[in-house]
């Protein structure tokens, strides 16, 4: 039998309701913060990502699903949401003159990574982006939005790691010092990090390799290279978070895997996840709009991984109960009553009740068994007598009580528990 692609998952009915719950929370919390939804295509011209995320990153070098289409264009399945959103915002002129553009998104993303728990090749993100404010209030708003969302999902004990990459100037001064230091230690670095040193030296800082970790402990600290403006911005972000009682831990080694960041970067981690412990992250990206050919616009945002969020919620027993499939199951004593069943089902659905019935001409016993299996609160029985009188018998499956009711007078009171 043909199997699905490694690192992809079918979303089956026993889990679909968890995603509906998540998606309803995404909508609810985005609305609380007055963010509007934007849906961009699942594939884009490759340059949106290679220019946006950066040529030296793992995502662009090793993880993108890139192909040439029949017209000869190089296209890529989106590995993240920010670059495509910026392209869409520019193309559709969404930047408001002198105002803020606040957007959220949800959907599938694709990275060719080694699949393991919490790491897939098709995964889903929710993200929010706050565009056009250079001020630390917008960094704080994004983090407060994320925190509000996590708390609304019952996730309280997560860790928020915070760092700043500073302005372009302070970052490049730091980079120069870091390269000097790492080059002097290069024989001790892993092969991967030796390569990173030449293409993207900051990435060496978040290597998981033990050899690299030892070298990194003595590396220069980015916080020592900040100019006044970068210090001020970072201090204000921290102050806003503290005032909102949001705990954070400063981690000067946090650089994140995408090149577009400057100033604030952050990551949300949870112990419930094992090695893939980061379930969300983001930061400020003031140069991406120009990088993608637009006018400058300063922005900050974050994205979370939905599969990882669900793993945490499962670990914390914070997942909701599955909703009942049907309130009412219609049992027909004979296939001759199928059209009575259809019309009664239609009448009840108009009242807002969830109704299902047998379509297999099965025995009454088999139909009752099915009604029990799906845990329907009520069964409606259409037998010879009922059909002749244009009535139905309603059975309350919780207490076994039965009553006969004329079909025309069926209303919600008959189905109150």
Q: Which of 81, 84, 166, 201 binds ligand HAM (CB under 6 A)?
A: 81
Listed residue (118, 184, 162, 100) closest to 302, CA to CA: 162
Task: Give min distance, CB of 305 to ligand HAM, in A.
Answer: 2
The backbone region for 397, taken as left when phi is positive above 0, alpha when psi lies in -120 to 50, beta otherwise, is alpha
Give dist(CA 118, CA 339) in Å, integer: 48
| Residue with smaller CB distance to ligand HAM, 54 or 305 | 305
Q: Which of 76, 82, 101, 264 binds ligand HAM (CB under 6 A)?
A: 82
| Residue with smaller CB distance to ligand HAM, 76 or 367 | 76
Task: Give min distance, CB of 190 to ligand HAM, in A.
Answer: 21
Q: Which of 303, 310, 341, 381 binds ligand HAM (CB under 6 A)?
A: 303
**Residue window 21-60: x/- pattern of binding to ligand HAM, with contact defined by CB under 6 A:** ----------------------------------------
Three-class SS of 119-154: ECCEEEEEEEEEECCCCHHHHHHHHHHHHHHHHHCC
Give dist(CA 147, CA 143) in Å, integer: 6
Residues 123 to 142: which contact ligand HAM by CB under 6 A? 123, 125, 127, 129
Contact 364, 384 (CB under 8 A): no
Q: Does 164 bind ligand HAM (CB under 6 A)?
A: no
Q: Which of 76, 163, 278, 357 binds ligand HAM (CB under 6 A)?
A: 278
Structure tokens at 166: 């500073």
Give dist(CA 299, CA 151) in Å, integer: 24
Contact 78, 53 (CB under 8 A): no
- Site size toward ligand HAM (CB under 6 A) is 28
Task: Give min distance, CB of 409 to ligand HAM, in A.
Answer: 54
**Residue window 355-394: x/- pattern of binding to ligand HAM, with contact defined by CB under 6 A:** ----------------------------------------
Q: Does 257 bind ligand HAM (CB under 6 A)?
A: yes
| Residue with smaller CB distance to ligand HAM, 78 or 395 | 78
Task: Give min distance, CB of 304 to ligand HAM, in A.
Answer: 6
Give dist(CA 392, CA 341) in Å, integer: 10
Residue sitting closest to ligand HAM (CB): 305
Give dist(CA 406, CA 393) in Å, integer: 9
Task: Give min distance, CB of 343 to ligand HAM, in A.
Answer: 48
How crowded is the C-beta side of 251, counted as CA atoms within 13 Å? Answer: 18
Give dist(CA 370, CA 358) in Å, integer: 8
Q: Does 80 bind ligand HAM (CB under 6 A)?
A: yes
Contact 23, 11 (CB under 8 A): no
Q: Which residues bind ligand HAM (CB under 6 A)?
A: 80-82, 111, 113, 118-120, 123, 125, 127, 129, 257-258, 278-283, 285, 301-305, 307-308
């Amino acid at each position: 039998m043909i199997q699905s692609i490694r690192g992809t998952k079918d979303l089956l009915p026993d889990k679909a309701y968890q995603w509906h719950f998540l998606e309803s929370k995404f909508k609810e919390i985005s609305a609380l913060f007055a963010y509007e939804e934007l849906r961009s295509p699942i594939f884009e011209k490759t340059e949106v990502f290679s220019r946006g995320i950066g040529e030296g990153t793992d995502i662009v070098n090793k993880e993108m699903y890139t192909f040439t289409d029949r017209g000869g264009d190089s296209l890529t399945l989106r590995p993240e949401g920010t670059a495509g959103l910026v392209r869409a915002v520019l193309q559709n002129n969404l930047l408001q003159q002198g105002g803020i553009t606040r957007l959220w998104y949800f959907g599938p993303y694709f990275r060719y990574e080694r699949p393991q728990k919490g790491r897939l090749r098709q995964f889903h993100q929710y993200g929010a982006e706050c565009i056009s404010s250079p001020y630390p209030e917008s960094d704080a708003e994004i983090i407060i939005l994320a925190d509000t969302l996590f708390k609304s999902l019952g996730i309280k004990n997560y860790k928020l790691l915070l760092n700043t990459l500073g302005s372009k100037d302070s970052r490049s001064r730091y980079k120069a010092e870091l390269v000097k230091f790492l080059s002097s230690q290069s024989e001790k670095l892993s092969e991967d990090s030796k390569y990173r040193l030449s293409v993207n030296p900051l990435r060496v800082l978040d290597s998981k390799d033990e050899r690299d970790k030892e070298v990194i402990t003595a590396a220069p600290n980015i916080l020592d290279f900040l100019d006044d403006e970068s210090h001020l911005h970072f201090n204000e972000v921290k102050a806003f978070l503290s005032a909102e009682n949001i705990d954070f831990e400063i981690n000067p080694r946090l650089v994140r895997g995408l090149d577009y960041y400057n100033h604030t970067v952050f990551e949300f981690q949870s112990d419930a996840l094992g090695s893939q412990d980061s379930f969300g992250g983001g930061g400020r990206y003031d140069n991406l709009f120009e990088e993608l050919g637009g006018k400058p616009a300063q922005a900050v945002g974050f994205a979370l991984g939905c599969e990882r969020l669900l793993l945490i919620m499962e670990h914390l027993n914070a997942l909701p109960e599955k909703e009942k499939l049907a309130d009412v199951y219609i049992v027909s004593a004979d296939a001759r009553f199928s059209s009575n069943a259809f019309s009664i089902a239609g009448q009840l659905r108009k009242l807002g009740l969830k109704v299902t019935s047998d379509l297999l001409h099965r025995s009454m016993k088999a139909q009752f068994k099915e009604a029990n299996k799906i845990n329907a609160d009520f069964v409606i029985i259409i037998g010879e007598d009922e059909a002749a009188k244009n009535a139905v018998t309603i059975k309350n499956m919780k207490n076994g009580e039965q009553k006969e009711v004329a079909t025309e007078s069926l209303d919600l009171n008959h189905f109150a528990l």
